[in-house]
């Protein structure tokens, strides 16, 4: 460019074009055009002689001095110029051909500028700009150490990350750390204030303080830095990407001793560049139990606390730990947002700040004059990125704010029908937003999964509202989810549960958001009703019992607003509503009515699946409410239908419920034998089944029933193995309903009956946690009852009151199954704590309830406790007779465990009256029926008593002789 002798810092403008020869750039508006250096040299000579004919020889000698080239090279480059340049008002090219002579630039031309400032080329006169001051860097030690290793080897490294994540902080800290490695120091160049990419080289030159006779600033920089060893930090390059990339590429190739560290919200895309993506600071998980000590192990919390201490002397404590953790989580670990939040503590407590931030990010505003304007609010730094987006990118970002959590590329395409762009364009825009750090990306099995940080989502959602696009975007989102979940319903029938839930569980927040909008302000009841119906399997698989019931009830209220509701949709909603009532805290007539109505609809439309589901659900309800004979009859109808339709897996579900009802009716051994056979038949296939069809996992539910029946039948090893399988598999499934059922129905009674107080205490705590996590109201009184039972075992008399209140709650709730044995357990606990009147009342209520419900499985226990009361009253003969009745009742039903307990009580009574031989004769055959299985206090007590009786009998025999 020096060859022209006309390089005096001028800019040539024509139409919307700017040509700056000194920088070898042709701009259309603010966008540089891709043209080769030869073509730009030709343009330069033509604009210098605008309106004049420039000969071919002159052009060729200017561009290719001292080199012979064919004229075709000239023609190729002129053609490239013509394609890039506009046409004149008359439709002609800006470059006219003068036949036989050469070319002429004919477009109207405006020329600006003059002489450029000249800088010294003496390196000694080029002082390095000082690095900005930096507060203590928190949570980035590993990152800085990693970058310190990479930079000397890679030479050109760009730290990339979302707005406010701390890129500049890391770059400055790294530069300070490496200061001694570079003989000529470090130069920090802040590119934030530059609006024109063409000023990048001038800004770098000014920061370096170099001077040169060169009018080409880049050449001057290279000359000034030749033979130097220096680190050049280019901060905030995202708005001057192409220019910064070209300069960085040029400098690293021309200056071996110069290394470049850049920061940007997206890579510079230089061939020599090495990209390091900076992640947000780690923050506590939502489910972590947090206190001061373990909270401070997270860098985000440490940063918040340090900045708050600097702002107002804040002292962090255990009480504030959950709120501070929630603030850092809400802010996604973004350092700038955390620092802005911490600055509010002089006027707000952490709990109050947390509540405000849950509603809006408006509190994140800095009043510090030292804070750069674009960092004075979180939205300002996001707006900086937003303004750099293309129209399509900005529109897609606004649309993506409808997603509440993670989403995939297929989801983006599914909701983007409102944009009116091709799939290829949507994919390109999505990838561009991820590159610009506005979308977070994670990979699972090579598939990208995207997420908007909460702050970015909030910002984009505000832009969506202000653009007037919100209603269309949310409607598109809801309709896409409807298609997705109707597809999920079909896939649930055949896809393995683990794969199915992994695919659809991440959609739960989006599901809530869409349903709330479309059944609220969205005004689309038909889509909302259908979407609720399609989502039922997911809620059931995830055990979100309370949420499912709430949303189904809301959808049912909206059904009347739908002009024509599909009978199948209505049927599914009513069946789900009935199922929710089965897990509620009260069983009233509306539950029966719902099951009957859902079954009628299933029969009307010929839906066999829902005929089975509704009969099964009704049978469960009947058993829960103490109507065991009705339950057996209902399940027999179920079995006939399942057999006719060849529904073998469903038949197993119905048979399990029927056999449980048979057990409650008093046929313990028969039910145990059949349940054992059922468990063998479904030992493997049930493990692969979903749970949504019959509310619980089949493998678990069969073993829960088997465990209780086996224990009562005296098969302790079988019972222990069954409940361990049930608990283990339900935990592996992460299915709270199945796990809670296993705890309440089998694990807890077995622990109490075996005398394992610590095991029972642990099960109570686990069940309480489950109920708090999923609000499964049905088991809350049962959990309270066993909590009281454990406390009573530990000698705490208040445990008896807890048991009494829990049984009263069960009766009030009409959850009557097992109430007779609960009352018997309460009576025995009352006896231990000398509350005789309560023991009598409870036992009387137990006999009355058992008779009304036809629930005789626990009859031997009720009779044994009656015998204990008679013994206490001094009626030894009556007590012995009652114990014998309990033993005989247990023998008839096959309840060996209850027979052992009654026999032990009678043996103790006989031993008290010195009938040791009779006591031994009674107890010996019962003890012989028990193997050396798992520990059991009752078995050990009976064996210890038997040993004592035998020793006494031997001693008496010796005395007699």
Supply φ then ψ for residue 97, to 5 degrees. Answer: -90, 130
| Residues 545, 776 contacting (CB under 8 angstroms) | yes
Helix (H) or strand (E) holding 624: helix 608-624
- In 3D, which of 433, 436, 414 has the Cα closest to residue 423? 414
Average pLDDT estimate for 192-214: 74
Average pLDDT estimate for 521-530: 84
How many whole angstroms separate alpha carbon 642 and alpha carbon 134?
Answer: 73
Alpha-carbon torsion angle 53, 57, 62, 66, nearest 10: -170
3-state secondary structure 101-167: CEEEECCCCEEECCCCCCCECCHHHCCCCCCCCCCCCCCCHHHHHHHHHHHHHHCEEEEECCCCCCH
Distance, first Cα to last Cα, the chain: 133
Residues whose CB is less than 8 angstroms from the CB of residue 171 and which lie 6 or more positions away in sequence, other chains included: 159, 233, 235, 261, 263
How many whole angstroms separate alpha carbon 868 and alpha carbon 832?
Answer: 11
Per-residue pLDDT, 625: 96
Per-residue pLDDT, 524: 75
The residue written with tokens 């070319």 in the block is 103
Residues whose CB is less than 8 angstroms from the CB of residue 596 and which lie 6 or more positions away in sequence, other chains included: 614, 618
Residue range 439-485, pLDDT digits in tens: 988 887 788 889 998 888 888 999 999 999 999 999 999 999 999 99
Question: Is pLDDT at 857 greater than 80 in this prediction?
Answer: yes
Biggest CA-to-CA distance, the chain: 149
Residue range 726-776, pLDDT digits in tens: 999 989 888 888 899 999 999 999 999 999 999 999 999 999 999 988 878
Per-residue pLDDT, 9: 66
Kind of pairing, strands 102-105 and 17-20? unpaired
CA atoms within 13 A on the CB side of 421: 18
More confident residue, 150 or 66: 150
Question: Is pLDDT at 638 greater than 50 in this prediction?
Answer: yes
Q: Which has the minimum average pLDDT: 79-83, 503-507, 608-612, 617-621? A: 79-83
- B/e letters for 887-907, b = 16+ CB within 10 Å, e = fewer, are bebbbbbbbbbbbbbbbbbbb
Burial of 77 (0-12, 13-18, 19+ CB in 10 A): buried
| Residues 431, 390 contacting (CB under 8 angstroms) | no
The secondary structure of the chain in percent helix, strand, coil, rounded to multiples of 5, reads 65, 10, 30
Which residues on neighbouring strands pair with residue 13, listed in sequence order? Answer: 18, 110
Q: What does the angle CA 661 – CA 662 – CA 667 come to, to the nearest 5 degrees? A: 140
How many whole angstroms separate alpha carbon 773 and alpha carbon 731?
Answer: 14
Q: Which has the minimum average pLDDT: 376-380, 721-725, 829-833? A: 376-380
Helix (H) or strand (E) holding 258: strand 258-264
- 3-state class (DSSP) for residue 894: coil
Per-residue pLDDT, 957: 63
Supply φ then ψ for residue 209, to 5 degrees. Answer: 75, 25
Measured CA to CA in angstroms, residue 543 lies from 522, 686, 726 at distances of 28, 18, 16
Per-residue pLDDT, 370: 46
Question: Is pLDDT at 123 greater than 60 in this prediction?
Answer: no
Q: What percent of the chain has pLDDT over 90?
A: 56
Residues whose CB is less than 8 angstroms from the CB of residue 754 and which lie 6 or more positions away in sequence, other chains included: 716, 934, 935, 936, 937, 938
Alpha-carbon torsion angle 312, 315, 318, 321, nearest 10: 30
Q: Which has the minimum average pLDDT: 186-200, 448-462, 765-779, 897-911? A: 186-200
Question: Is pLDDT at 6 greater than 70 in this prediction?
Answer: no
Helix intervals (H) in 199-334: 200-208, 217-225, 241-254, 292-295, 299-312, 321-330
| Residues 6, 46 contacting (CB under 8 angstroms) | no
Residue range 73-117, pLDDT digits in tens: 788 888 888 888 876 544 567 888 877 778 888 777 777 664 433
Structure tokens of 744? 């309440």
Structure tokens of 774? 């999923």
Per-residue pLDDT, 415: 94
CA atoms within 13 A on the CB side of 89: 1
Per-residue pLDDT, 626: 95
What 59-62 contacts at long range (C-beta under 8 Å, 24+ apart), as own/partner pairs, is: 59/102, 59/103, 62/3, 62/4
Per-residue pLDDT, 120: 39
| Residues 516, 708 contacting (CB under 8 angstroms) | no
Helix intervals (H) in 713-858: 716-733, 736-742, 748-753, 757-774, 780-793, 798-812, 819-832, 836-853
How many whole angstroms separate alpha carbon 284 and alpha carbon 7?
Answer: 60
- Specify the length of the chain in residues: 961
Which residues on neighbouring strands pair with residue 442, listed in sequence order? Answer: 449
- 3-state class (DSSP) for residue 879: helix
How many whole angstroms from its chain centre is CA 57?
Answer: 70
Average pLDDT estimate for 628-656: 93
Question: Is pLDDT at 292 greater than 50 in this prediction?
Answer: yes
Question: Is pLDDT at 560 greater than 80 in this prediction?
Answer: no
Per-residue pLDDT, 918: 92
| Residues 675, 722 contacting (CB under 8 angstroms) | no
How many whole angstroms separate alpha carbon 139 and alpha carbon 588?
Answer: 57
Residues whose CB is less than 8 angstroms from the CB of residue 309 and which lie 6 or more positions away in sequence, other chains included: 315
| Residues 250, 145 contacting (CB under 8 angstroms) | no
Per-residue pLDDT, 365: 57
Helix (H) or strand (E) holding 444: strand 440-444
- In 3D, which of 814, 913, 825 has the Cα closest to residue 864? 825
| Residues 213, 116 contacting (CB under 8 angstroms) | no
How many whole angstroms separate alpha carbon 799 and alpha carbon 796?
Answer: 6
Q: Please tell me the pTM assigned to this model.
A: 0.73
Q: What is the DSSP string of 923-944?
A: HHHHHHT--S-S--HHHHHHHH
How many whole angstroms separate alpha carbon 895 and alpha carbon 889?
Answer: 8
Per-residue pLDDT, 689: 53
């Amino acid at each position: 460019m020096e060859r022209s002798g006309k390089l005096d810092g001028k800019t040539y403008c024509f139409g919307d074009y700017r040509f700056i020869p000194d920088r070898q750039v042709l701009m259309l508006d603010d966008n540089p055009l891709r043209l080769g250096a030869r073509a730009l040299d030709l343009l330069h000579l033509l604009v210098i002689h605008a309106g004049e004919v420039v000969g071919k020889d002159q052009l060729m000698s200017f561009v290719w001095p001292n080199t012979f080239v064919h004229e075709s090279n000239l023609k190729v480059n002129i053609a490239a110029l013509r394609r890039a340049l506009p046409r004149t008002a008359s439709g002609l090219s800006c470059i006219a051909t003068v036949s036989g002579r050469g070319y002429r630039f004919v477009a109207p031309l405006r020329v600006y500028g003059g002489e450029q400032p000249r800088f010294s080329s003496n390196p000694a006169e080029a002082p390095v700009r000082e690095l900005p001051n930096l507060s203590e860097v928190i949570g980035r030690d590993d990152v800085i150490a990693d970058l310190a290793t990479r930079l000397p080897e890679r030479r050109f490294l760009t730290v990339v990350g979302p707005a406010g994540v701390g890129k500049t902080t890391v770059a400055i800290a790294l530069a300070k750390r490496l200061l001694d490695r570079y003989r000529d120091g470090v130069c920090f160049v802040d590119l934030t204030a530059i609006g024109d990419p063409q000023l990048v080289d001038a800004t770098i030159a000014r920061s370096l303080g170099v001077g040169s006779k060169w009018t080409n600033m880049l050449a001057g920089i290279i000359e000034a830095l030749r033979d130097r060893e220096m680190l050049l930090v280019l901060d905030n390059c995202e708005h001057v990407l192409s220019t910064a990339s070209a300069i960085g590429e040029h400098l690293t190739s021309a200056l071996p001793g110069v290394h470049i560290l850049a920061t940007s919200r997206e890579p510079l895309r230089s061939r020599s560049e090495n990209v390091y993506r900076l992640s947000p600071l780690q923050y506590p998980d939502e489910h972590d139990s947090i206190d001061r000590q373990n909270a401070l192990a997270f860098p985000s919390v440490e940063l918040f606390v340090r900045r708050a201490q600097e702002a107002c002397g804040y002292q962090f404590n255990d009480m504030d730990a959950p709120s501070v953790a929630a603030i850092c989580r809400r802010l996604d670990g973004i350092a700038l947002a955390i620092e802005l939040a911490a600055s509010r503590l002089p006027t707000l407590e952490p709990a109050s700040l947390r509540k405000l931030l849950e509603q809006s990010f408006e509190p994140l505003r800095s009043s510090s004059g030292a804070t750069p304007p674009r960092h004075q609010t979180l939205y300002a730094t996001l707006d900086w990125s937003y303004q750099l987006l293309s129209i399509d990118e900005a529109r897609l970002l606004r649309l993506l704010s409808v997603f509440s959590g993670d989403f995939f590329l297929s989801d983006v395409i599914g909701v983007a029908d409102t944009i009116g762009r091709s799939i290829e364009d949507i994919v390109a825009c999505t990838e561009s937003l991820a590159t610009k750090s506005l979308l977070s990306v994670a990979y699972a099995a090579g598939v990208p999964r995207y997420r908007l940080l909460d702050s970015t989502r909030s910002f984009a959602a505000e832009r969506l509202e202000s653009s007037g696009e919100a209603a269309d975007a949310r409607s598109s989102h809801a309709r896409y989810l409807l298609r997705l979940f109707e597809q999920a319903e079909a896939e649930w029938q055949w896809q393995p549960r683990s794969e199915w839930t992994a695919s659809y569980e991440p959609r739960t927040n989006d599901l809530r958001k869409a349903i709330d909008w479309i059944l609220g302000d969205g005004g689309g009841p038909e889509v909302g009703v259908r979407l609720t119906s399609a989502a039922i399997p997911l809620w059931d698989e995830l055990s979100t019992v309370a949420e499912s019931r709430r949303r189904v009830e809301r959808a049912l209220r909206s059904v009347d607003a739908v002009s024509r509701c599909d009978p199948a949709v209505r049927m599914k909603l009513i069946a789900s509503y009935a199922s929710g009532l089965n897990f509620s805290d009260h069983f009233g007539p509306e539950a029966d009515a719902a099951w009957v109505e859902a079954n009628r609809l299933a029969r009307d439309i010929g839906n066999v699946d829902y005929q089975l589901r509704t009969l099964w659900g009704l049978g469960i309800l009947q058993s829960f409410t103490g109507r065991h004979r009705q339950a057996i009859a209902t399940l027999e109808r179920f079995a006939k239908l399942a057999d006719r339709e060849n529904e073998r897996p469903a038949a197993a579900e119905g048979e399990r419920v029927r056999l449980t009802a048979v057990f409650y009716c008093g046929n313990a051994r028969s039910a145990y034998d059949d349940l054992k056979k059922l468990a063998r038949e479904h030992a493997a296939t049930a493990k692969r089944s979903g749970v949504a069809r019959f509310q619980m996992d089949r493998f678990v539910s069969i073993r829960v029933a088997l465990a209780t029946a086996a224990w009562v039948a005296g098969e302790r090893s079988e019972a222990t193995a069954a409940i361990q399988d049930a608990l283990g598999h339900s935990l592996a499934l992460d299915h709270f309903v199945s796990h809670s059922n296993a705890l309440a129905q089998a694990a807890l009674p077995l622990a109490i009956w075996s005398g394992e107080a610590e095991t029972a205490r642990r099960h109570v705590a686990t069940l309480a946690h489950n109920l708090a996590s999923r609000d499964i109201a049905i088991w809350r009184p049962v959990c309270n009852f066993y909590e009281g039972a454990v406390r009573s075992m530990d000698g705490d008399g208040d445990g008896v009151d807890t048991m009494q209140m829990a049984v009263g709650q069960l009766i009030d709730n009409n959850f009557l199954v097992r109430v007779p044995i609960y009352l018997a357990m309460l009576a025995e606990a009352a006896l231990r704590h000398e509350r005789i009147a309560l023991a009598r009342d409870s036992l009387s209520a137990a006999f009355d309830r058992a008779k009304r419900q036809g629930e005789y499985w626990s009859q031997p226990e009720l009779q044994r406790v009656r015998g204990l009361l008679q013994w206490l009253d001094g009626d030894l003969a009556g007590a012995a007779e009652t114990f014998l009745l309990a033993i005989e009742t247990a023998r008839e039903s096959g309840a060996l465990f209850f027979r052992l307990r009654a026999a032990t009580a009678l043996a103790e009574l006989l031993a008290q009256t010195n009938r040791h031989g009779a006591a031994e004769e009674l107890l010996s055959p019962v003890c012989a029926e028990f193997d050396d299985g798992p520990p059991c206090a009752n078995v050990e007590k009976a064996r210890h008593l038997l040993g004592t009786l035998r020793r006494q009998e031997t001693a008496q025999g010796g005395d007699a002789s």
